[in-house]
Amino acid sequence: METEVIKPKNKIHPHKFTLWVGIGSIVMMFAGLTSAYIVKRNQANWQTFDIPIAFWYSTILILISSLTLHLSLKYFKEREMKKYRMLMLTTLILGALFFVTQYFGFKSFWNSGMTLQAGVSFSFLYVIVGLHALHVIGGVLALIVMSLKAFSTKTRNYSVVPVELICTYWHFVDILWVYLLIFLVMIR
């Protein structure tokens, strides 16, 4: 008589699967928008623009925030909760600062006459960067929730899944911003 060992299947957590489906949808949306941008830029009335310095500062902030969030996950897994809490809070602050610098970037666009009525090129710019800003707001809200949970005095649930979810999402938003910035610099 032979005995067959049944190995458990490595299944992806349902929340992680849902997140990846959402990320795929977001990628397709931005691919469509940037493709439309490329097509529309061949119009006669297309106007070019310079990227505000605030967008470069915001890029530095979001890259650093991805690093701090990655380290917070590392410390969470090692159960070094004090370091985890401080890095989660640092990430939240950096994420909020990213949003503030984006505001100043948009404000400099607006003050230089690059309004929605100024042309289709600026409308595309506002839609593309504005949609990214909405995704950052979602990420910042998730970081607020995670920070509140990290500093909560209630009984702890040490599941790594929520921390991995926010890390995946935030790294995605980071990569998406870098892509959009490079796209706008190269294709404007």
pLDDT digits (tens, 9 = 90+) for 75-130: 999 999 999 999 999 999 999 999 999 999 989 888 887 766 666 777 888 888 88
Q: Looking at residues 161-170, what average pLDDT do you find?
A: 95
Residue 48's pLDDT is 78
Angstrom distance (rounded) from CA 145 to CA 65: 16
Q: What percent of the chain has pLDDT over 90?
A: 59
- Phi first, then psi, for residue 168 (nearest 5°) are -60, -45
DSSP for 31-96 reads HHHHHHHHHHTTSTT----PPPHHHHHHHHHHHHHHHHHHHHHHHHHTT-HHHHHHHHHHHHHHHH
Pick from 20-29, 92-101, 126-135, 148-157: least confident: 148-157
Contact (Cβ atoms closer than 8 angstroms) between residue 131 and residue 165: no
Angstrom distance (rounded) from CA 159 to CA 26: 27
Half-sphere exposure of 46 (CA within 13 A, CB side): 13
Q: Which CATH number fits domain 50-187: 3.30.2130.10, 1.10.260.40, 3.30.360.10, 1.20.120.80?
A: 1.20.120.80
Tell me which residue has tokens 């949609």.
131
Q: Which of 59, 21, 36 is nearest to 180 (CA)?
A: 59
pTM of the model: 0.86
Q: Where are the domains of the chain?
A: 50-187
